[in-house]
Amino acid sequence: MQFKFEKGYIYNVKTNKVFDVSGKKDAEATTVIMHNRNEGDHQRWRIVYVDQFKEQTKGLIEEYGLFANRPFYLRSQLPNHRMAECNNNHDVRQRRYRSNETAQQWIFDPV
């Protein structure tokens, strides 16, 4: 699947649906689904790069709003700011931040 980040939303380029915390529940292990955009905080995310303190001067793919091949976290804008975590390449849930948890780290591959 191909995604883009725009104004706090993660869009599926093909369907134009966005990452959505199911049921608007700000709870541990709540499923993240794709849904039509409806402006709620349960659909808004912040990109936090793993190396956020390093100066990045190249690699931004403006069309998608992401840096290529640079690991990042997707942090929910719900009050507890949980991270999107992907297990088994398809099961995405929001979970509390866990240092160095690779299931919480995402990479944008522009190919």
16-52 pLDDT, tens digit per residue, is 999 999 999 999 999 999 999 999 999 999 999 998 7
Domains, the chain, in order of start with CATH, read 3-104 (2.80.10.50)
Q: Provide, for the chain, the percentages of residues in helix, strand and coil under a 3-state DSSP scheme, each rounded to the nearest 5.
A: 10, 40, 50
Q: What is the pTM of this model?
A: 0.89
State the first-to-last Cα distance of the chain, in angstroms, to the nearest integer.
Answer: 11
